Amino acid sequence: MKRHILTAAILAGLVVLAVLASQLLGIRLYDRIVTNLCISLVLVLGLQLFMGNSGILSFAHMGFMGVGAYTSAVLSIPAQMKGMALPDLYPFLQGVELSPYLSIAIAGVMAAVVAAVVSYPLMRLSDAAAVITSFALLVVLYTVMTNWSALTNGPRTLFGLPKATDIYLSAFVAILAVIGALIFKESRTGRLLRTSRDDERAAAAIGVNIPALRWRAFVVAALFAGIGGALWGHFITSFSPKAFYLKETFVILSMLVIGGANTVTGAVVGTFIVTIAYEGLRGLEGVLNEAKVTGEPVIGLTEIVLALAMIAVLILRPGGLFPTREIGALLRRRMETRK
């Protein structure tokens, strides 16, 4: 971790700067954007933690975000609202009304536990088989969320979550996530995983249990996703299972890919860039809709631009903007060469 203190400071500084800027400007919209950015950071860092260290693409991440969001909802929706929000809820949960902060933490643990249980056998698969199973896992989680009406209100919107997430809480958690991702990167598990990613056979030959390592990374990633999902739930206060499916997977993935999946710096920078681009393009779509350029509503422009950017990055700079080194290491190097 020591070698990453500079990186952690810079990345945390970026988050603080974004918060300060939005507060000084005092525009409500910016407050919302920065909060969303911080929540995305938690999610993207979780995905980076798994993908960046193991080298395996996972589609299931958003499913665990959903597990976190619904867990926190069930635990924290006020008892008197539950009759309306979740009419079929199991009796033993009807009286439960935890503090949202506690339930956010439990949500993270819950997502991690679910991930731990379902994913262990999946971790020995690599390449395309691993990707297909993670995709299948996302579909399974989505189908369960859509249909387990007792806990999720089915495909309908679940409402009534207490608003607990504000810009400060989300920024605080985002900074913790940055530090967490860096600590994991330098942990024994993280180092061994990256070694095994580069040479699976050599790692297996020296007795590294690759599936077990991947599993640890996957569980920690799900913890991040669960917390991120719960934070988001307590920010938006109402949502439906659709929020945890392919479209959102695409956005999170674009952040990670554009920034660079191998580095924490890449994850953070990618999240900033894509968030800014996303909000800008959504704004543009709004303006175009106002202007009624065409008879049809303008939607999809944002995703088209993001998809093109993603493809361009993968073709021109496959490792993303920060392919191998963290920002701290890059700066230190530059200073040393200058001497």
Partner 1 sequence: MTFAIQFVIDVLSLGGAYALMALGLVIVYGILRLVNFAYGELIMVAGYTMFLFSGSGLPWLVMAAVAVIMAVLAGIATDYVAFRPVRAKSVTAVLITSFAFSTLLQNAALLFISPRPQTVPLPALFSQTVTIGGAITPLRNLITIAAAVILLALFALLMRRTVLGIAMRAAATNFTMARMLGVPANLIISSAFAISGFLAGVVGLLWIGRIGTVVPGIGLEPLLVAFIATVIGGMRSLSGAVIGGFLLALIDTTLNYTLSQDLLKFRDAFTFSLVILILLWRPEGLVKGPATGQRT
Nearer to partner 1, 78 or 155 (CB): 155
Shortest separation between residue 150's beta carbon and partner 1, angstroms: 11
How many residues bind partner 1, per CB under 8 A? 45
CB 268 within 8 A of CB 45: yes
CB 126 within 8 A of CB 193: no
Nearer to partner 1, 52 or 68 (CB): 52
CA-CA-CA-CA dihedral for 116, 190, 258, 254, to nearest 10? 0
**107 touches partner 1 (CB under 8 A):** no
How many CB atoms lie under 10 A from the CB of residue 247? 11
* Cα–Cα distance list, 115 to 43, 53, 137, 159, 226 (Å): 15, 17, 10, 25, 10
| Footprint (CB under 8 A) of partner 1, residues 294-333 | 296-304, 306-308, 310-311, 314-315, 318
**1 touches partner 1 (CB under 8 A):** no
Shortest separation between residue 56's beta carbon and partner 1, angstroms: 7
Report how far residue 224's alpha carbon sits from residue 48's, in angstroms, rounded to the nearest whole number: 10
The string of DSSP codes covering 186-217 is HSHHHHHHHHHHH-HHHHHHTT--HHHHHHHH
**116 touches partner 1 (CB under 8 A):** no
Shortest separation between residue 128's beta carbon and partner 1, angstroms: 6
| Footprint (CB under 8 A) of partner 1, residues 6-65 | 51, 55-57
**127 touches partner 1 (CB under 8 A):** yes
Pick the closest to residue 100 from 80, 63, 74, 81 (CA basis).
Answer: 74
Stretch that binds partner 1, among 13-21, 66-74, 80-88, 128-136 (CB under 8 A): 128-136
What pairs with residue 159 in β-bridges? Answer: 238
Stretch that binds partner 1, among 7-15, 36-44, 89-97, 129-137 (CB under 8 A): 129-137
**143 touches partner 1 (CB under 8 A):** yes
CB 226 within 8 A of CB 107: yes
Provide the binding-site residues for partner 1, judged by CB under 8 A.
51, 55-57, 121-122, 125, 127-129, 131-133, 135-137, 139-140, 143-144, 146-147, 246-247, 250, 253-254, 257, 296-304, 306-308, 310-311, 314-315, 318
